[in-house]
């Protein structure tokens, strides 16, 4: 068969990713630290961009638009074309039509970035803009523990508890809070917090997250299989060890001088500061993207964190001064590109902040029971629910919730923590969060009578009484994910103890 070249005309639709659109998507998914670095690079590259604080004391005020103001956006900036692309199906990166083109600089005075609602009623979103800093260390103890928490197989509710406990652990590896305080802040049972702590105390390095030196040493001895009654007595009398009172120690431990010498040698091999081997050059300080505050009337206020807001402006006066000079074509092209890039960046930063606030506000509205009553009241939530409620695409919500943090009265949480699967309710009622169901199963087993251990079928019956429709195999799966033995194994453990 002979081959030949030919030209055909075909009609089709496609989404063209312009550089401006790619930048908008990139900004949306950047963390605060990455965004700050990106803005600093743009300030160095673009002579028309300037921080508001670098101006003559009044650059951030909207009352002097002739000296410092955002350039108005027209078709030459590329924004018109990009808006059409953002409206295209499958990539609704920003909500079309939001934001203002009124020339107000990003970070200048404007409407308060706050949204209020009571209980389950949503309120208006805001227009402010947020950029905060996020300092992390790749080899810090905190990061090392968080990495282990993610693969510990805990439920979302227990993950929240574990994350709080880890954040309350100091650089030496000691827990600097109490079980009671964590339980009160998160609205969880003290027994549940204690159980999560025991899981976390099994992380490396051995002895981490202990509440005292004796507990730290005991954890290390247990890991070595050397925590016998004699060692327990020695650990409980470290003051005598410090005084080298061998006679008193020998009597308390019930061992002779030779055994006591061996025990002291073992004790010297332990580390009283399990976190000492990790980097402390950079302190982890995750600055939240949004704050959630409970108001006296029971409503919640959601607002952007503007404490570290980079106030990026475009120097219109400098632009006018430069364009008035005689220039070659390449120079004119460079200045035009800088002006369009500056306008696009300011608009994208403002839109990014609006989108984060809108998503965070919907998450709080959906999970208001958690903020009011604690981890047992987490509701089932997925990206599609939030996306449908705020009329955005799921990919947008996914980008917004990545590496974004929310500071709440119950602690600091990543936005992704609030998403979980759902369990149907009996009688067609409101569905239950899978994590809340796991939490209930754990509560039931923790409180069960040692002589009357619940089988998986009995747990199904109890949950059905709570209005939760669940299969026995699902109970078994959740129980195993919580590292809880079967009813037969629990009976054997109870008899042995």
pLDDT string in tens for the chain (497-residue length): 567 777 777 777 665 556 666 767 778 888 878 888 888 888 888 888 888 664 444 433 333 333 232 323 333 333 343 333 333 333 333 333 333 333 323 233 233 344 433 232 233 333 332 333 333 345 688 888 988 887 777 877 888 888 889 989 988 899 999 999 999 888 888 999 999 999 999 998 999 999 999 999 999 998 888 888 999 999 988 888 888 888 898 888 998 888 888 899 888 889 888 988 886 644 446 788 889 988 888 788 999 888 656 678 888 888 888 888 888 888 888 888 888 888 888 888 888 888 889 999 999 998 888 888 888 787 778 888 898 999 888 888 888 888 888 888 888 888 887 886 555 555 555 566 677 788 788 888 988 888 889 999 999 988 888 788 888 888 888 888 788 888 888 888 888 76
Judge whether 231 lies within some domain. yes
Residue 429 shares a structural domain with residue 473: yes
Residue 181 shares a structural domain with residue 220: no
Q: For residues 358 and 302, give the distance between their C-alpha atoms in angstroms, rounded to a whole number.
A: 9
In this structure, what token pair is assigned to residue 241? 């060890």
H or E element in which residue 395 lies: helix 394-400
Q: What is the CATH number of the domain that holds 432?
A: 1.10.10.60
Judge whether 330 lies within some domain. yes
Residue 36 shares a structural domain with residue 123: yes
Judge whether 15 lies within some domain. no
Q: For residues 476 and 480, give the distance between their C-alpha atoms in angstroms, rounded to a whole number.
A: 6
Expressed as residue numbers, the domain containing 320 is 28-55+95-136+285-365
Among residues 341, 365, 389, the one where a domain terminates is 365
Q: Which neighbouring-strand residues pair with 210?
A: 174
* Ramachandran area for residue 39 (φ above 0: left; ψ -120 to 50: alpha; else beta): alpha
Residue 144 shares a structural domain with residue 109: no
Query: Residue holding tokens 């004391």?
Result: 57
Residue 264 shares a structural domain with residue 220: yes
Among residues 320, 340, 365, the one where a domain terminates is 365
Residue 252 shares a structural domain with residue 301: no
Count up the domains in the chain and report the number: 4
Residue 220 shares a structural domain with residue 294: no
Residue 146 shares a structural domain with residue 179: yes
Query: Residue holding tokens 């939240």?
Result: 288
Question: Do the beta carbons of residue 317 and residue 50 sit within 8 Å?
Answer: no
Residue 142 shares a structural domain with residue 130: no
Q: Which neighbouring-strand residues pair with 50?
A: 313
Residue 333 shares a structural domain with residue 360: yes
Judge whether 307 lies within some domain. yes
In this structure, what token pair is assigned to residue 188? 């969880």
Among residues 177, 200, 223, the one where a domain terminates is 200
DSSP string, 311-348: -EEE-HHHHHHHHTS---HHHHHHHHHHHHHHHHHHHH
Judge whether 408 lies within some domain. no
- Residues in the chain, how many? 497
């Amino acid at each position: 068969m002979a081959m030949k070249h030919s030209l055909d005309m075909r009609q089709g639709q496609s989404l063209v990713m312009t550089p401006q659109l790619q930048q908008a998507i990139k900004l949306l998914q950047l963390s605060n630290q990455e965004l700050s670095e990106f803005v600093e690079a743009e300030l160095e590259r673009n002579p028309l961009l300037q921080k508001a604080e670098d101006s003559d004391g009044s650059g951030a005020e909207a009352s002097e638009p002739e000296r410092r103001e955002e350039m108005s956006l027209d078709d030459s900036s590329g924004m018109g074309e990009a808006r059409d692309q953002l409206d295209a199906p499958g990539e609704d990166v920003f909500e079309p039509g939001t934001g203002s083109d009124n020339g107000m600089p990003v970070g200048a005075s404007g409407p308060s970035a706050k949204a209020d609602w009571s209980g389950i009623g949503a309120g208006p979103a805001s227009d402010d803009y947020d950029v905060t800093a996020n300092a992390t260390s790749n080899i810090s103890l905190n990061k090392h523990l968080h990495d282990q928490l993610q693969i510990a197989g805990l439920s979302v509710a227990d993950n929240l508890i574990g994350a709080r406990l880890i954040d309350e652990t100091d650089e030496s590896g000691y827990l600097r809070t109490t079980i009671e305080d964590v339980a009160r802040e998160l609205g969880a049972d003290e027994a549940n917090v204690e159980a999560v702590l025991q899981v976390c105390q099994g992380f490396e390095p051995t002895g981490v997250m202990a509440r005292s030196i004796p507990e730290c040493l005991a954890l290390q001895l247990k890991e070595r299989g050397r925590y016998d009654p004699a060692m327990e007595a020695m650990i409980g009398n470290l003051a005598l060890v410090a005084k080298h009172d061998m006679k008193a120690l020998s009597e308390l431990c019930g061992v002779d001088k030779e055994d006591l010498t061996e025990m002291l040698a073992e004790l010297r091999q332990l580390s009283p500061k399990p976190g000492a081997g990790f980097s402390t050059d950079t302190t982890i300080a995750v600055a939240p993207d949004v704050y959630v505050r409970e108001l006296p009337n029971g409503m919640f206020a959601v607002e952007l964190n503007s404490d570290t807001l980079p106030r990026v402006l475009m120097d219109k006066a400098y632009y006018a001064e430069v364009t008035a000079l005689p220039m070659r074509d390449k120079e004119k092209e460079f200045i035009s590109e800088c002006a369009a890039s500056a306008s696009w960046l300011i608009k994208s930063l403002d839109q990014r902040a609006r989108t984060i606030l809108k998503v965070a506000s919907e998450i709080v509205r959906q999970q208001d029971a958690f903020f009011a009553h604690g981890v047992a009241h987490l509701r089932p939530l997925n990206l599609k629910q939030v996306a449908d409620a705020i009329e955005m695409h799921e990919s947008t919500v996914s980008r917004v919730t990545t590496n974004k943090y929310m500071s709440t009265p119950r602690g600091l949480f990543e936005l992704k923590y609030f998403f979980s699967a759902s369990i149907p309710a009996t009688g067609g009622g409101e569905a239950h969060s899978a994590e809340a169901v796991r939490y209930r199963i754990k509560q039931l087993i923790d409180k069960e009578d040692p002589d009357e251990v619940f089988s998986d079928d009995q747990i199904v019956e109890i949950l059905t009484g709570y209005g939760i429709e669940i299969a026995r195999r699902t109970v078994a799966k959740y129980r195993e994910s919580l590292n809880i033995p079967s009813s037969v194994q629990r009976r054997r453990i109870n008899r042995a103890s």
